[in-house]
Structure 1
């Protein structure tokens, strides 16, 4: 990624509370790995009860995607999912601040040769991932083994943005940060034979999306994956990471490139992507980011399945 630069302006009093919180997190993350997982589960329990709006979104998503499951099964996955979200906070801190050697000991990586082969052939690669709760740590672990460019959206808080970028850069010093809207830079990077991390599994609205089924529900699905592959002359290489049970670390899999992709039909391509998304989620549903409003954009005439957002009252001056 492009180099992060510390500025004295980040020491302004408006950022002191953030620095304090990050400092406490830095201290906590010194603890043993299994202790951090336990703290993450405890935090997830608090999030489950303290974030009713997000809990409801996840409940709706699970009900839409798995109508054949019993309510008890969905409730079990829901609670496990919030525990996974709690662990994600400490995994993010581990990715940013743990010594590289300590972090690397947690990784079991398969399929790295697929990225290596694409790079040796001078062909770009769309590293197609998903929004699992282990996203940050998975990217860090893979970044220790391969050069991966990343799509990046600047955080609104400059202090947090600096810490976040600095934490990522240390794993992938020769990578490039590409603004999410800079499509031209994306194509340029792919045509130069580089690999770019990209996740097509969220709802980005009607623009550049088509409606295709996801777990039997019509979902606004971006067509960018096939566009990047076609115009960037790149392979699409799926990538998943899994938090292993018993505190055994993480299994990262770089899957074989998609064959005969893209086609001439963007709807067929989007459906194929969603079918892969389904398979990846089914392998570890408790570790997926269900708190996202995946089905907020609906076909004409169909109502959103989520409760309306509550408007925050502005403080009177």
Structure 2
């Protein structure tokens, strides 16, 4: 690895071992499917999502509980419709991942556009780094590829346990990134920001009690929230720019880039987490049915507080 501990895909004979043949088969099927016309890809994804809604009941209950916790004011019927649309988006997202990894720039350009591109361009022209807040929309993989065509950045990366998936994922993501950093490599992230790079960062999941504080998120008063955002902003001195990749009803994908965030409170962990969660809320509300509700966002609780998920809900 380099001084920045950059991660790059390396093909070895180990990846051809018979234990990985099913993985290669799955990737090959995904590749062939995304060669099809987009309307067919969309319908296959929709069907897969509706089927998975029937087959993975525990994940469905996780998503149902998340929607109830975050939007208790909405009628049950409206939340049930959001749940159905979310599973449809989950199915489509599998093929959108293949689109991100395997489509050419030319084919992508026929289906995509960017709104607010100047917000990033102006910061980069000044030489300042950009902390790009890309929360876990189901369209995130594709949105990163779309934006990376004009603004290649540095990806923050969690290695996959399957080495074949890890290799293919890395190759796909490096189509829109200069290099990748392991998610615990804080020094590498800070160095990249100080060097004026655009760094992809997702602070919206529950990463456990270590290096987290509790801050409000929607109607949940105590959501475990990473303190990493404050550290990166305080030490890397970047501009903070959120973005949302949205699948529109006409089949187009639009990446909505928000104006840079001002007056981020870097001196206090809880204030910073509360501030960032407000930004996350605003972005999620742009396309709530396309957010990753299947993740147990509120699994970490303060000591003594009751769990927000029943014991029969699948853990992450």
Q: After the TM superposition, which residues 38-77 of structure 1 pair with which residues of structure 2 at under 5 Å, given as runs?
A: 38-77=43-82
Q: Report the equivalent of 2:3.
A: none
CA RMSD of aligned residues (A): 1.6
CA shift digits 1:124-179 (9 cap, x unpaired):
1110111000010000000111121011111111111111111122233xx12111
Q: Report the equivalent of 1:223.
A: 227
Q: Report the equivalent of 1:12.
A: 17
31, 34, 42: which one pairs with 1:29? 34
Instruction: Give the structure-1-normalised TM-score.
Output: 0.94
Q: Does 1:207 align with 2:210?
A: yes
Q: C-alpha distance in 1, partners of 2:281/2:303?
A: 24
Q: Does 1:193 align with 2:196?
A: yes
180, 183, 188: which one pairs with 1:180? 183
66, 70, 95: which one pairs with 1:90? 95
CA shift digits 1:242-301 (9 cap, x unpaired):
100021x11112211111123423222211111111121122111000000001011221
Q: Report the equivalent of 1:278.
A: 281
Q: After the TM superposition, which residues 72-151 of structure 1 pair with which residues of structure 2 at under 5 Å, given as runs?
A: 72-151=77-156
Q: Report the equivalent of 1:239.
A: 243
- Structure 1 stretch 254-263 or stretch 12-21: which is displaced more? 254-263
Q: C-alpha distance in 1, partners of 2:176/2:288?
A: 28
Can you give the 5+ residue segments of structure 1 that lack an aligned partner in the other structure? Answer: 313-317
1:310 Cα deviation after fit: 7.7
Q: What is the aligned length?
A: 309
1:233 Cα deviation after fit: 1.3
Contact 1:230 1:262 in 2 (8 A): no
1:122 Cα deviation after fit: 1.6
Q: After the TM superposition, which residues 234-313 of structure 1 pair with which residues of structure 2 at under 5 Å, given as runs?
A: 234-247=238-251, 249-308=252-311
Q: Report the equivalent of 1:315.
A: none
CA shift digits 1:191-248 (9 cap, x unpaired):
111110001100011222111111121201112112101101111111111100021x
1:114 Cα deviation after fit: 2.0
Instruction: Give the structure-2-normalised TM-score.
Output: 0.94
Which runs of at least 4 in structure 1 moved beyond 3 Å after TM superposition?
309-312
Q: C-alpha distance in 1, partners of 2:135/2:106?
A: 26
